[in-house]
Amino acid sequence: MFSCRIEAFISGTGAGLHFEFEPVGVVHSCFKEKFGIPRQAGLAVDAPARIELMKDCRDPATVRGLAEFSHIWVIFVFHQCLRRGWKPTVRPPRCGGNHRTGVFATRSPFRPNPVGISCVRLTGIHHQPPRMELGIRGGDLLDGTPVLDIKPYLPWADSRPHACGGFAADPPLQRMTVSFSPEAEALCRRREAAGLPDLRRLIVQILSLDPRPAYAARDRDDKHYHCRLYDLDVEWSVSRRRVEVLDLRTIIDGD
């Protein structure tokens, strides 16, 4: 009995009710900054990550039977959105960034309780004491994300393919074509040979989703963009709905 792990408590009733949670794990992900992360799970299907379970949750008994499930829910905290607070409405990028929608009608990370849910593929369970890790793919989780809970995905309860999706009824439409400059291509191949085998495919998946802010995507845009993936600074530009990857630069700690 691990009663000491229960951090939730009731401090009062009604207005004073609040709950305290301690993470059960932490995400180690290729996404080292918010910019570039797909705006929902499942969009960059190959994006790899690990969930490292912590404290009592490292007990291998906690995941007994989990390997039978192909997908899991990750319930997590938008930990980089804690300090900015929230507003009753947000401007979803899907609406071009200039239409205000109620926060509860969006999946924005800036919410009254900054909690997210993501359905991801479970690729493995790795127990090398004292470490206990779950391998996942297809997430939209920032490196360092605190995990509050892991649940099996139950298709008969969680899958509602005919649900109506409002302004976000369909997946983001216009996937952009992604090409690499000769320099970026060569650097990418080198890193693939040195331990990041799916790197090119992953970069294509991420950049084809057009991670730019909505206002940039509307306008003529001759900026160079950067996002951090693993230990790489990926530099790209957009012209006529085509992305060109210009450079991949290894970030040395302290950059």
Give CA–CA dist 227/201, Å, rounded.
16
User: Shortest distance, CB of residue 14 to a second copy, whole angstroms?
Assistant: 8
Q: Is 220 in the site for a second copy (CB under 8 A)?
A: no
Residues 155-214 that bind a second copy (CB under 8 A): 155-171
Give CA–CA dist 66/53, Å, rounded.
14
Site size toward a second copy, by CB under 8 A: 89
**Antiparallel, parallel or unpaired: β 48-53 and 101-102:** unpaired
Residues 105-164 that bind a second copy (CB under 8 A): 105-107, 111-115, 117, 119, 146, 148-164
Q: Is 101 in the site for a second copy (CB under 8 A)?
A: yes
CB closer to a second copy out of 64 and 240: 64
Contact 101, 91 (CB under 8 A): yes
Give CA–CA dist 146/78, Å, rounded.
8
Q: Among 14-22, 181-189, 197-205, 237-245, which window interacts with a second copy (CB under 8 A)?
A: 14-22
Give CA–CA dist 120/44, Å, rounded.
11
Report the DSSP beta bridge partners of residue 242.
177, 239
What would the x/- binding string for a second copy be over residues 47 to 86, using CB under 8 A? -------xxxx-x-xxxxxx-xxxxxx-x-x-x--xx-xx
| Among positions 103, 176, 214, 246, the unique one binding a second copy when judged by CB under 8 A | 103
User: Shortest distance, CB of residue 91 to a second copy, whole angstroms?
Assistant: 12
Q: Is 45 in the site for a second copy (CB under 8 A)?
A: no
Q: Tell me which residue of 127, 139, 142 sits closest to 34, measured CA to CA.
A: 142
HSE-CB of 79 using CA atoms within 13 angstroms: 16
